[in-house]
Structure 1
Amino acid sequence: MPVLFRMKVIPLVLLLAMVFAFLLNWPVLLHFYDILSHLEHDKAGFVISIPFVLVAALNFVFMPFSVRYLLKPFFALLLITGSMVSYSTLKYKVMFDQSMIQNIVETNPQEAHSYLNGSIILWLLLTGVLPAVLLFLIKIEYPSKWYKGVAWRALSMVASLALIAGVAAIYYQDYASVGRNNSTLNKEIIPTNYVYSTFGYVKDTYFTTKEPFQTLGDDAKRVASADKPTLMFLVIGETARSKNFSMNGYSRDTNAWTRQIGGVISFANVHSCGTATAVSVPCMFSDMNRTEYSHKRAANSEGLLDVVRKTGVSMLWKDNDGGCKGACTRIPTIEIKPTADPKLCDGQTCYDEVLLDNIDQDISKMSGDKMLAFHLIGSHGPTYFQRYPADQRHYMPECARSDIENCTQEQLVNSYDNTIRNTDRVMAQMIEKLKQYSDRYNTVLIYVSDHGESLGEKGLYLHGTPYKIAPEEQTHIPMQVWMSPGFIAEKHMNMTCLQNNALKNAYSHDNLFSSVLGLWDISTSVYKPDMDIFHGCRS
């Protein structure tokens, strides 16, 4: 490989620290100075010191990895991955904690492809690939003796600490104040944020002793209806937020299809367990509430569907969103392939109508009481425009691109609202299908989204923000219920009571577990009547 120029190892590491500080950590510096711009008083020295402290800290962290044969491949990898993280942070305000790493690892190729666009490729080439190539063209000069190399590295690290200590001695109160009021800043520094989070995810996933598998609801019993069997559709939405549902007060008629059907109850105040599918879906099907939820425990335990299955209900999960994240592991599953239906799929993704393909055959293959769970692709971004057919472009102009930050707010909201309206259309089709079975079954549909979505509010896009600082747009989700007259009579459901509760009471994913068990009249020690949304409205 040709040599571009020569450089001693110690200044090279300092140069790398400066590249990360001023180029890849540009989003962090912008965030820092945005915070300072809102302070009534700030010291010029404190403001000037911020990039120097960042460079010194990175130099200290980088120095131990500056050994021969490791330096170039290690930092080339950090430059390329750091570039992608930097773009996501700058454009979408994504925070790379352990939950986000889990979400990335569990993303399927089709879903990942939707995030690619010209902007991110250009950014990656200029800020990641190009610096990595230049690094390999540098002839690094190492000290002739190993102990001299150790001494020079130690001296550089001590100098970095001395600079940080000197700044802290003068401006400690300023840094402490900003840090206390902005606890996420330390999680935004590239590459320490995603490297640390990835290490934690790998350790917890592959190098931690698994908990013994736990069964759930082994005492579950159910008395089947003496009238006719029950057919339940449980629909898991994707990335739908409550504030864009007209049934919850939104100015646009995004629930036009179900509004025409009538009988749909919309719960106005429901919150999710997480801000990403990888957390919310396994959490909502577990018997744990949000504050005690453990992904490790959920992965090694039975869940809601297992308990229902134990009582003799015939089960099926149909998925159009890349997997159930462990919630359906032990029940029959159909994963929709992106080539499943030429009319509804384009080879990379399918419209949610595809879930109704062969639905009559699916139902006929099941016996007795039946429960079908559908996992929608719903409003999954950033390619919102790919979630609805051309004839469903109701709100125009749309944002027909994946780099949504380059669309106008009007275009972005139009595309997103089209996804909500299309999901409503699919819900209406599912209800109409249940109506066709109402002479043979007591039928019911429950719809709930996994999490919400940010559409540029407060500079945030997409989802996945850590829950404790996540905006309402990412946690306030829609939930809807439709029941046939036969189901209402069988369950002695007071619909006026249910409608009133839907308007005034606050619920969350924590309620789903016991609410579904309650609708199936399953008695078990893991059922909690006070968490059952429907319990108080049954006479």
Structure 2
Amino acid sequence: MSRFSLPRIDYRFVIIGLALYFTLVLNWKVLGHFYSILGALESYDLGFAASAPFVLLLGSVVLFTPFSFKYLMKPFFALLLITGALANYAMIKYGIVFDRGMIENVVETNPGEAGSYLNLQSAMWFVVTGGIPVVLLALMPVRYPETILRGVMGRMVMIMVPLVMLGGLAGLYFKDYASVGRNNKVLGKEVAPVNYVAGTVKYFKRRYVSSKMAFRTVGDDAHQTVAISANGKPTLMFLVIGETARAQSVQANGYARPTSVFTQKIPGLLAFQNVRSCGTATAVSVPCMFSTMGHDNYNGEVARHSESLMDVVAKAGVSVFWKENDEGCKGACDRTPSVELRPKDFPEFCGNGTCHDEVMLAGLDEQIAGMSGDKLITLHLMGSHGPTYYKRYPDEHRFFTPDCPRSDIENCTQEELVNTYDNTIRYTDFVISKLVERLQSYQDQYNTVLLYVSDHGESLGESGMYLHGAPYMFAPDEQTHVPMFIWTSNGFANDRGLNNTCMRDQAQKGSFSHDNVFSTVLGVMRVGTTVYRKDQDMFASCENATYQAARETDPNVADN
């Protein structure tokens, strides 16, 4: 009795089948976006519209053919299908665009955050669009060329024929593609698997190949320009780094819902209206705001091989400490005394593998007592980290209902999604108010200051986008416009001669960004160094002449 066996399929048909699958299934997002763009035009060539799937198909055949050798094809395309399924889900469900920056964000995501994206729908999507095709590919008997020469010749034909056809389509519709592509550059970042493969190659090349650079010290001349404040008190500053808070959802920034009810009760707390982030992901924004480079000149490799704001402040003799409740400091605190809050250590604040931000108050008095002189404490909040927004606030702060207690947020109603996110903003506002209260309890001993700024914003379905991490040049306002609060004690304000009207005007009318954080903190801590920039210190223009004169007599203070 003969055993049943499937007929072997020529490797060329397998390549064409894979190219067809990527075109019609895993490139569903880019095709949909392409046709939505055409639909918004007054007129377009029907032949041009019909050519798009063929361009993707032919291009995929050209790219896939070199990987069709016997011992390479199945493992290579199995990996490509698995990663393609994951990327496809992220692009369709959350509007994520894959480039080097997004790959960096993915690689630096901790296991707890990654787990928050796992749900029944994402698992089923992965099984259907990735798992099943991989199993079929693994079981498929493939017929390869009998000789090396035939293999080489066959693959050359497989590449040349599609290239000729692509050339023909380019001759017919080059102007159309050039026009659409020039006006919608994000389309190129949506083509799978080119987008995430190219992004991965660029990330690893930049991270591990091009990163052989010497470590750079910063602010070696740092010292305190004014040895002691006029009132004899040292300075205690809380630098609070928020997570995924967007200005559009903050009541103090004009939002109609009561998300700032706690901080609005605090006299003298200022909400800055026009503040821009350095990036659209933590992996960029946090090291950027702690670097000397600023948004326009930021280079992640340079930042990774350089000292940060925390190092410069410490060189001046200020005590520094970093308290972490998010996904790490991204290198900004590598040489700074720090503590990462673990859920098992704080059961009263933590559950489901994450801690509510009130945990920042635990042990804070002891940590302050363990520091000497002027003190800078950076607190990195969990804030509004998605997609599991519902995990970011305790039940007693479930103010807006109904909310969305699930990770597949695209399946919640818009009302539920907004309610859940707004609860996180409201809870962060509560935590900020508690941190200010703690500083108020120290104002007899210290000149106290709080500066809060979010690392980036968040999309909640606007234009079909969710979460964050869009390329900055394409990023919507929701991902780059962030809230910032400043509060100072009367002792600090009097010591610096701060003009309250000036500060209020700056908060309402001024334009600021993460670029201002570096020099503002140096100014608060009275640190003189050539890397200080007076024009980026948010307090400098509102301080009185006497205090400014004391700083400006220091030859190391840059007045640029």
**Aligned residue in 1 for 2:194:** 192
For residues 475-529 of structure 1, the C-alpha deviation after alignment (integer angstroms, 9 at most, x for no partner) is 0001101111111111211121101111001000111111111112211111111
Q: 1:146 aligns with which of 143, 148, 151?
A: 148
**Aligned residue in 2 for 1:280:** 285
Q: How does 1:22-421 map to 2 (within 5 A)?
A: 22-222=24-224, 223-226=226-229, 227-421=232-426
Cα distance in 2 for residues equivalent to 1:424 and 1:3: 66
Shift of 1:302: 1.0
What is the count of residue pairs matched by the alignment? Answer: 538
For residues 207-254 of structure 1, the C-alpha deviation after alignment (integer angstroms, 9 at most, x for no partner) is 124221111111112123241111110000000011111111111111
Distance change (3 Å), C-alpha of 1:70 and 1:454 = same
Cα distance in 2 for residues equivalent to 1:469 and 1:200: 19
Cα distance in 1 for residues equivalent to 2:391 and 2:227: 42
Structure 2 letter corresponding to 1:51 = P
Q: Is 1:430–2:435 an aligned residue pair?
A: yes
Please say which of residues 3-12 and 29-38 is displaced more in the overlay. Answer: 3-12
Cα distance in 2 for residues equivalent to 1:5 and 1:506: 68
Shift of 1:399: 1.1
Cα distance in 1 for residues equivalent to 2:411 and 2:396: 24
Shift of 1:261: 2.3
Shift of 1:338: 2.3
Shift of 1:5: 4.6
Shift of 1:347: 4.6
Q: 1:502 aligns with which of 501, 507, 510?
A: 507
Please say which of residues 235-244 and 343-352 is displaced more in the overlay. Answer: 343-352
Cα distance in 2 for residues equivalent to 1:3 and 1:500: 79
Distance change (3 Å), C-alpha of 1:6 and 1:249 = same
The question of whether the paired residues in 2 share the 8 Å contact of 1:235 and 1:374 is answered with yes
The question of whether the paired residues in 2 share the 8 Å contact of 1:3 and 1:138 is answered with no
Shift of 1:93: 1.0
**Aligned residue in 1 for 2:497:** 492
Cα distance in 2 for residues equivalent to 1:228 and 1:46: 72
The question of whether the paired residues in 2 share the 8 Å contact of 1:3 and 1:139 is answered with no
What secondary structure does 1:328 align onto? coil
For residues 295-343 of structure 1, the C-alpha deviation after alignment (integer angstroms, 9 at most, x for no partner) is 0111111121111111111111000001000001111010011222111
What secondary structure does 1:443 align onto? strand
Structure 2 letter corresponding to 1:72 = K
Cα distance in 1 for residues equivalent to 2:374 and 2:300: 30
Cα distance in 1 for residues equivalent to 2:131 and 2:227: 62
Cα distance in 1 for residues equivalent to 2:6 and 2:183: 45
Shift of 1:61: 0.1
For residues 111-151 of structure 1, the C-alpha deviation after alignment (integer angstroms, 9 at most, x for no partner) is 11111111111110000010000000111101111110111
Cα distance in 1 for residues equivalent to 2:508 and 2:6: 68
Structure 1 letter corresponding to 2:137 = L
Q: How does 1:435-446 map to 2 (within 5 A)?
A: 435-446=440-451
Cα distance in 2 for residues equivalent to 1:440 and 1:298: 36
Q: 1:535 aligns with which of 540, 546, 550?
A: 540
What secondary structure does 1:290 align onto? coil
Root-mean-square deviation over aligned CA pairs: 1.1
Identity over aligned pairs, percent: 53
Structure 2 letter corresponding to 1:91 = K
For residues 358-401 of structure 1, the C-alpha deviation after alignment (integer angstroms, 9 at most, x for no partner) is 11111111111111100001001111110000111100010111
Cα distance in 2 for residues equivalent to 1:150 and 1:238: 53
What secondary structure does 2:200 align onto? helix
Cα distance in 2 for residues equivalent to 1:114 and 1:200: 27
**Aligned residue in 2 for 1:18:** 20
The question of whether the paired residues in 1 share the 8 Å contact of 2:211 and 2:301 is answered with no
**Aligned residue in 1 for 2:531:** 526
Please say which of residues 384-393 and 361-370 is displaced more in the overlay. Answer: 361-370
Shift of 1:6: 2.1
The question of whether the paired residues in 2 share the 8 Å contact of 1:220 and 1:522 is answered with yes
Distance change (3 Å), C-alpha of 1:338 and 1:437 = same
- Flag as ranges the 4+ runs of structure 1 deviating above 3 A: 2-5
The question of whether the paired residues in 1 share the 8 Å contact of 2:374 and 2:525 is answered with no
Cα distance in 1 for residues equivalent to 2:212 and 2:340: 27
The question of whether the paired residues in 2 share the 8 Å contact of 1:399 and 1:411 is answered with yes
Q: How does 1:455-470 map to 2 (within 5 A)?
A: 455-470=460-475
Q: 2:520 aligns with which of 515, 518, 525?
A: 515
What secondary structure does 2:440 align onto? helix
Cα distance in 2 for residues equivalent to 1:496 and 1:246: 21
Distance change (3 Å), C-alpha of 1:8 and 1:375 = same
Cα distance in 2 for residues equivalent to 1:4 and 1:195: 33
Q: TM-score, length-normalised on structure 2?
A: 0.95
Shift of 1:265: 0.4
Shift of 1:273: 0.3
What secondary structure does 2:321 align onto? strand
Cα distance in 1 for residues equivalent to 2:335 and 2:326: 18
What secondary structure does 2:272 align onto? strand
Question: Which ranges in structure 1 are unaligned for 5 or more consecutive residues?
Answer: none
What secondary structure does 2:327 align onto? coil
The question of whether the paired residues in 2 share the 8 Å contact of 1:316 and 1:371 is answered with yes
The question of whether the paired residues in 2 share the 8 Å contact of 1:442 and 1:486 is answered with yes
The question of whether the paired residues in 2 share the 8 Å contact of 1:339 and 1:347 is answered with no
